[in-house]
Amino acid sequence: MGKRMFVIGDIHGCARTFNRLLDVIELDRTDMLYLLGDLIDRGPDSRGVIETILRLQHDGFDLRPIRGNHEEMMLLAIRSGVEEDLLEWLENGGNATLANYGVSHPKDLPTEHLTFLEALPYYRMTPQYLFVHAGLDFSLDDPLSEAGRTAMLWTRDGKVNSKKIGGRTMVTGHSTRTLDEIKKCLNTEHIQTDNGCYLGTGFSKGKGNLVAVNLSDREIIVQPYVDGEDHDHH
């Protein structure tokens, strides 16, 4: 099997669904896997998501995660010590993360996990692709500069100026798209990957799955949400 390149959008604490998807794609040590941020919050097992990533990296798998707005909100709540920052994070799914870790403040997460989150880059690039959580501010001369960081985490405008990123295809998560919308964008200059996994199986309208895109052949692999399943059934 040749070297394949995969990308997975917002996992949002859906650890069992994430692990199931990794089984389905039969991730190999020769593969590259980009993760587009929002690894944590909303879903039931943010800890399990990070533990899976750390374990696979330790075992020699090539996982390349980036930062999403949820990681940023949590880290800001720790850094600033401002009550409003903490509340904003909690209201946006951080409460599920605290409950999952069994702590009352994000600063009490395991050191290894905080170190991992703090080290997440805002974007990653290959000769063909630019991976970023939300998108870029193409009104800037250099959308990859520090001035563009808010857009990298938060923008929803979806625009791409391919020339400003060296002719690369932009690959993002952040804004949930239906499976049809994801399929339609696979051969455009902006591949979107977030199907709103944490919404779960009760959510119709073509959302509620975790999607991997195999960039080697521009195909999608769809894993329905399984985090709500009874843990006795495998």
pLDDT band at 205 (very low <50, low <70, confident <90, very high): confident
- If phi over 0 gives left and psi between -120 and 50 gives alpha, with beta otherwise, what is residue 127? alpha
Q: How far apart, in whole angstroms, are the C-alpha atoms of residue 188 and residue 190?
A: 5
Query: Measured at the alpha carbon of residue 35, what is the angle toward residues 138 and 228, in degrees to the nearest 5?
Result: 125
User: What pLDDT score does 228 carry?
Assistant: 85
- pLDDT higher than threshold 60 for residue 178: yes
- pLDDT higher than threshold 80 for residue 231: no
Name the CA radius of gyration of the chain, rounded: 17
- pLDDT higher than threshold 80 for residue 204: no
Architecture of domain 5-224: 4-Layer Sandwich (3.60)
Length of the chain: 234
User: What pLDDT score does 232 carry?
Assistant: 39
Q: What is the mean pLDDT of residues 107-124?
A: 98
Determine what percent of the chain falls in helix, strand and coil, rounding each to the nearest 5: 40, 15, 45
CB-CB contact of 209 with 225 (8 Å): yes
Q: Which residues of 200-217 are buried (b: 16+ CB within 10 A; e: fewer)?
A: beebeebbbbbbbbbbee
pLDDT tens digits, 23-80: 999 999 999 999 999 999 999 999 999 999 999 999 999 999 999 999 999 999 999 9
User: What pLDDT score does 1 carry?
Assistant: 55
Q: Which two tokens stand for residue 30?
A: 């020769």
Q: What is the mean pLDDT of residues 101-121?
A: 98
User: What pLDDT score does 233 carry?
Assistant: 37
Q: What is the mean pLDDT of residues 180-202?
A: 95
